[in-house]
Structure 1
Amino acid sequence: MPSIDASINSGTEPAHPAGPDHPTDTAGPTGAEAADTLDLRLSGELLAALRDRAPETGYAAAPRMPTGGDLLDDPGGWEPAATPAGEFRLVAADVERDLALISRWMNDPAVAAFWELSGDESVTAAHLRSQVDGDGRSVPCLGLLDGVPMSYWELYRADLDPLARHYPARPQDTGLHLLIGGVSDRGRGIGTSLLRAVSDLVLDNRPRCTRVIAEPDLRNTPSVAAFLSAGFRFSAEVQLPEKRAALMIRDRVLRRLL
């Protein structure tokens, strides 16, 4: 799979693509901070307006359950999470509804450097359909912050993925891939906040899962730093077919301590 660290920590660092790469941290997961003054409220509105948003029609409705719910416990149906940046939730990606938006994100040079899904929309469409129509081992989702789509996620069963050949996998290990879509949502700590929120959602909704796994490119230091700040620990360097990766793990037993 491509990498998923699409420049989370800094507006200039690349994010990891559709494989197992990871995000660089942006100031607290995509969030606009509440303000007590009129000026600050206007700033928040301006940031929201600058966000690379897709049509919101359809997102307010009950999310469509992704294929293979038995394998990943239907992440598209999980309750929203409160984050420092606002209310965040995952909705199952829909190829027809979301293709133009996700393809635009994939063609951002910072994202394309790791995901390698730039080009015509058909490239992204083929990648999404392989998961939507697959057996449920990987589920593509949009991440919505206060109702606005601003990130793309892939949750996958790491213990059933080729990644399991490269580390001592445990049953129900769950992996994360992520990219932050809008430039205005990068470099502000948002990646770290969202990584913590989504890994918490995994552990809260998948009681049989004891660990959340990530494998960002070892060269992507902002991404590795974001995972560390989100409560993941560095476990090992692993040589994958497409990259040298940092194996990052967030353990259920340590989640309240890190």
Structure 2
Amino acid sequence: MPPADARTDARTDFRTASTPESDADLRTGGDSEDTLELRLPDEFLAMYADDGRAADTVPPVPADGLLDRIGDWEPISTPAGSFHLRPVQIERDLPLIGRWINDPTVATFWELAGTECVTEAHLRSQLDGDGRSVPCLGVLEGTPMSYWEIYRADLDPLARHYPARPHDTGLHLLLGGVADRGRGLGGILLRAVADLVLDNRPRCERVVAEPDLRNTPSVSAFLSAGFRFSAEVDLAAKRAAFMIRDRGLRDAL
């Protein structure tokens, strides 16, 4: 079923997490049930109430977009080859993404298995939103092979569950083909996309993620990509490992 909205009564526990044993096939870093509530949070809207505007009036989207025009980002070189993000187009990409979403392993965490109508609704909820979440295909050496959601974590309901900072940017990842799993590719691409975010979003100081704690291959891939474990977070439908990649530590981890 499509992800549900976040609960505001969730708690955040700061604990020491054990490091997963494997960097095997990355199923998904993107099983967040929070990201697709595409209405700006009340906390964000309240900031605009003091200047005479109504608190329920959505401020205009900046000319460069809330995510700095992902479609214009240049490819990045990785150990696996040239990689770039291509924003999703429903007519072109729906069959491929729908097939990936219905992979039994992926479906365990994304909970979006079903007809193309289910996949389309998930994509359109972002494409028809205010631009806080952008679905993309990851294209490696000219071949689409992964699905990504790049989102403004500071403007997302996720921000209710951690000390958000302005322009925090979140990542979700789904590796499409079975052949691309289990060989460390997830960590390589997560590092590459985090670098793309930091290179193209100069106001962003942190890239964040919240993979399901049960998904140890995903958590391990984030760690290998230079993310650090920050907290265990109770979200509406899962207990997540909150991961952070800091701009100031990008060359150290």
Which of the five TM-score ranges fits, normalised by the shorter chain? 0.7 to 0.9
Q: Give, in whole Å, the separation in 1 of the partners of 2:187 and 2:142.
A: 19
Map of 1:99 onto structure 2: 94
SS at 2:112 equivalent: coil
Map of 2:145 onto structure 1: 150
**Do residues 252 (structure 1) and 247 (structure 2) align?**
yes
Map of 2:41 onto structure 1: none
Q: Give, in whole Å, the separation in 2 of the partners of 1:200 and 1:17.
A: 18
SS at 1:135 equivalent: coil
Map of 1:29 onto structure 2: none
| Cα pair 1:20 1:216 within 8 Å, conserved | no
| Cα pair 1:217 1:244 within 8 Å, conserved | yes
| Cα pair 1:2 1:17 within 8 Å, conserved | no
SS at 1:87 equivalent: strand
Q: One-letter code of the match for 1:113?
A: T
Q: Give, in whole Å, the separation in 2 of the partners of 1:69 and 1:151.
A: 25
Q: Give, in whole Å, the separation in 1 of the partners of 2:133 and 2:118.
A: 18
**Do residues 242 (structure 1) and 237 (structure 2) align?**
yes
Task: Give TM-score scaled by structure 1 length.
Answer: 0.77
Map of 2:24 onto structure 1: 10
Map of 2:51 onto structure 1: none
Map of 2:217 onto structure 1: 222
Query: Pairwise mapping of residues 189-204 of structure 1 onto structure 2 (< 5 A)?
Result: 189-204=184-199
Q: Give, in whole Å, the separation in 2 of the partners of 1:69 and 1:92.
A: 15
| Cα pair 1:15 1:114 within 8 Å, conserved | yes
Map of 2:32 onto structure 1: 19
* Pairs aligned (count): 208
Q: 1:83 aligns with which of 74, 78, 83?
A: 78
| Cα pair 1:238 1:246 within 8 Å, conserved | yes
Q: Give, in whole Å, the separation in 2 of the partners of 1:74 and 1:243.
A: 31
Query: Pairwise mapping of residues 23-38 of structure 1 onto structure 2 (< 5 A)?
Result: none
Cα separation, partners in 2 of 1:124 and 1:18, compared to 1, 3 Å = farther
**Do residues 184 (structure 1) and 179 (structure 2) align?**
yes
Q: Give, in whole Å, the separation in 1 of the partners of 2:143 and 2:104.
A: 22
SS at 2:129 equivalent: coil
* Shift in Å, 1:17: 4.5
Identify unmatched segments of 5+ residues in structure 2: 5-21, 35-61
Identify unmatched segments of 5+ residues in structure 1: 22-66
Q: One-letter code of the match for 1:144?
A: V
Query: Pairwise mapping of residues 32-71 of structure 1 onto structure 2 (< 5 A)?
Result: 69-71=64-66
Map of 1:231 onto structure 2: 226
Structure 1 vs Structure 2 CA RMSD: 2.1
SS at 1:72 equivalent: coil
C-alpha distance after superposition, 1:132-191 (max 9, x if no partner): 111000000000000100000000000011100000000000000000000011101000
SS at 1:70 equivalent: coil
Identity score, percent: 71
* Shift in Å, 1:225: 1.0
C-alpha distance after superposition, 1:180-224 (max 9, x if no partner): 000011101000000000000000000000000000111211111
Task: Give TM-score scaled by structure 2 length.
Answer: 0.78
Map of 1:136 onto structure 2: 131
Map of 1:159 onto structure 2: 154
